[in-house]
Structure 1
Amino acid sequence: MDFSPPPRTKTCMICKKEIPLGAPTAEVQKQTAHKECFKCAICDCELLQGQCSQDIALAKSDILRAKGPLWFCRNHMMLGAGEKMELLRKKMK
């Protein structure tokens, strides 16, 4: 008889939905995301751990807070917050 606790499911840090056990994930900064959710907020390319960044200033924006953490690829992570915001606004239209 197995008395170990059942495996715990995790919640995606980006879409806030449950991650099924065994589903492909990305583990970043002690948080977990569906692999398909972990993409650049601007160009939607797949992100690689260690080659992406999060913009804390944008995360505090009222407009973007509801979207969850925003991650950026190597091509977009060095843009200023204003440039990122402009590109994100265009994408949201």
Structure 2
Amino acid sequence: MLLVDEEATWSRIDELLAQTLDAATEQDVMLLTFSGHGTHNHRLVAHETNLENLADTTIAMANLAERFRQSKARHILLVLDCCFSGGHRRK
């Protein structure tokens, strides 16, 4: 699934993660990509992100990492093309 511009809202991204990661089985290999903006504190910027309220309107890498840990997928590869993408460590 591809989300572009105004389609790439926080809730739509979260919904797609649920449809993919949460529904994955031990046989699945997941490839996710994000090309957009990132913040200095390792959050992904959605279409409706509010600069005055980054904590509630962006996607925290820590939340993604937790979702990856909870997924039953055999392997998950996340490719990031955004500012500050290299600053998050694998946990």
Name the structure with the higher strand share.
Answer: 2
Name the structure with the higher helix share.
Answer: 2
TM-score band, normalised by the shorter chain? under 0.3
Q: Which structure has the larger Rg?
A: 1
> How does the TM-score come out when normalised to structure 2?
0.23
> How does the TM-score come out when normalised to structure 1?
0.23
The one of the two structures with greater contact order (alpha-carbon pairs below 8 A, sep at least 6) is: 2
